[in-house]
Amino acid sequence: MSNPELHQQKLLELAGFEIHGPFEDNLYRLTCIVGELLAAGRVSLMLLDVAPGDQGPRLKLAALYGELPEAAWKEEQAAGQGIAGEVLASGVCVRIANIAQSPWKELARYGEECGGFLACPVLLGGRPAGVLNISQPIARAGFSKTDLANAKLAALLIGRTIQVGRLDRMLDSRFAQMAFTLEGATDACTVISLTAHEPDKVAKMLARGFYREMRHCGFTPNQIIHAAGEIISELTGSLNRHKKRLGSE
């Protein structure tokens, strides 16, 4: 298959991608498609996550095609910090011919980085909420302007896929629908904005919806507190199993 045909096939895969199964598995599949599209040895997808305390949202590694040190999964970057943080803050893609011989070298997360590098913002709800990083071009020294154009389109399609996938799952949850209704957030624009950029507010809305629904059903405050403790226990167990599964992979 020639390069133009392969590019078209991979772009069509991204455009028609549908979320199935665990969300993290889908993100990994998306990075694999991008790696094949751009003939790159490594593709990483970073998304904004809530940081502890009042530090504000941080970029965290969400999916990886290729290899990075294990520590990369624990790192957090603020807007303006590192190459990904700069791209997130500016909302502008960058193409670097050779990161080891460029002004961006000091911002690279790992000193041994070299070769071509692409980074594009991932838009959710019309605003940057993640960064798609592409490096290690295969069988060539660097990435071309055409590669950058394909990377921009890939980042756009990934953002749309994540946004639609999240909304589909929110709308599929009767409890989430009830929580949004109770908070008066029923129009599509508000729901998109909240799920894309303020997931902590969504979590609080779900918690308030849980409390109101329990009270509506006649449960006492003590019973609700007991139920909340059971939920925390289940969440802890699920998170531990999730970490073990990621570790085994």
- Give the C-alpha separation, 212 to 60, whole Å: 33
Give me the DSSP letters along 132-200: EEEEEETTSSS--HHHHHHHHHHHHHHHHHHHHHHHHHHHT-HHHHHHHHHHT--SHHHHHHHHHH-HH
Q: Is the pLDDT of residue 131 over 90?
A: yes
Average pLDDT, stretch 220-240?
A: 75
What is the per-residue pLDDT across 104-123, written as a single tens digit (0 to 9) for each?
676 666 655 668 899 999 99
Whether 50 contacts 81, CB under 8 Å: no
- Superfamily of 3-168 according to CATH: GAF domain (3.30.450.40)
Q: Residue 161's pLDDT is what?
A: 92
pLDDT band at 81 (very low <50, low <70, confident <90, very high): confident
Among 52, 65, 235, smallest CA distance to 135 is for 65
The band of 243, judged by pLDDT with boundaries at 50, 70 and 90, is low
Domain coordinates of the chain in residue numbers? Answer: 3-168, 174-248
Using left for φ > 0, alpha for ψ between -120 and 50, and beta otherwise, residue 82 falls in: left
pLDDT tens track for 150-180: 999 999 999 999 888 877 776 666 666 666 6
Select the more confidently predicted residue: 100 or 12.
Answer: 12
Is the pLDDT score of 134 beyond 90? yes
